[in-house]
Amino acid sequence: MTSRTTPRSDKRIDRLSRRTRRVLAVATMVGLPGMFAWSTFWMGTTAPTVVWGPISFVLIGATIVGSFVLYRYIRGRADMPGAHLDEREQQLRDRAWILSYQVLSAVVLAVVIFLGIDVFVFGRQVVVDAGLVNALVLSTAVLLPVLPAAALAWIEPDVPADF
C-alpha cells in the first residue's frame, strides 16, 4: 500500500492555477530555443547589442525561472519512482510521462520533416556548425529533464477552492 499523507503546503506556488502553469510550461520550453533562434536572427541584422541583450535575457530568463517554478511545483512527483505517491498521483505521473514522450516524439518528427522539406524541396543545405550543436546540446540538456515536470504541471487539475 502506498501512502502520501503529508499535505501540500499553502504556499502560492503550490496553488498555481492550471492556466498559469500552462503558460509557465510553454514559456519554459520555448524560452531557451527562442533565445538561440533570436540570436541567430539578430546576427543577420545590423541591430545593436543593446537590442539583443534584453530580449535574450527575457527569453533565457523564462526558461530558468519557469524550470525553477515547475520543479518547485511538482516537487519530485514527476521524476521519482513513486513510492510516496498515492494511486491518483501515480496515474497522473504516468499520464505526464506519456505526454512527455508524445511531445518529444512530435518535436523530433517536426524537426525531421522541416529539415526534409528544406533540403529536398527547397534544395537548401543544413550546416551543422558549432553554434547549432551548442544550441541543440544545451536545449536538450536543459529542456529534456524539465519536460516531465512541464507535462505534469500542464495536466494536473486545479486544486478546488474548498481546500
Partner 1 sequence: MVRPSQRTDPIVHNRLAVLRVERGLSRQELADALAVNYQTIGYLERNEYNPSLDLALRAAEFFGLPVEAIFSRQPFAPMSSQLYASASPGARPGEGTT
Which residues of the chain form contacts with partner 1 (CB under 8 A)?
A: 1-5, 7-8, 85-89, 92, 157, 159-160, 162-163
Nearer to partner 1, 91 or 134 (CB): 91
Nearer to partner 1, 31 or 156 (CB): 156
Q: CA of 74: how far to CAs of 4, 10, 107, 150, in Å?
A: 14, 14, 23, 9
47's grid cell: 541591430
Decide: 154 and 99 in contact? Cβ < 8 Å.
yes
Residues 6+ apart with CB under 8 A from 63: 27, 28, 29, 31, 32, 35, 142, 143
Shortest distance in whole angstroms from residue 151 CB to partner 1? 14
Nearer to partner 1, 80 or 117 (CB): 80
Shortest distance in whole angstroms from residue 98 CB to partner 1? 15
Shortest distance in whole angstroms from residue 24 CB to partner 1? 20
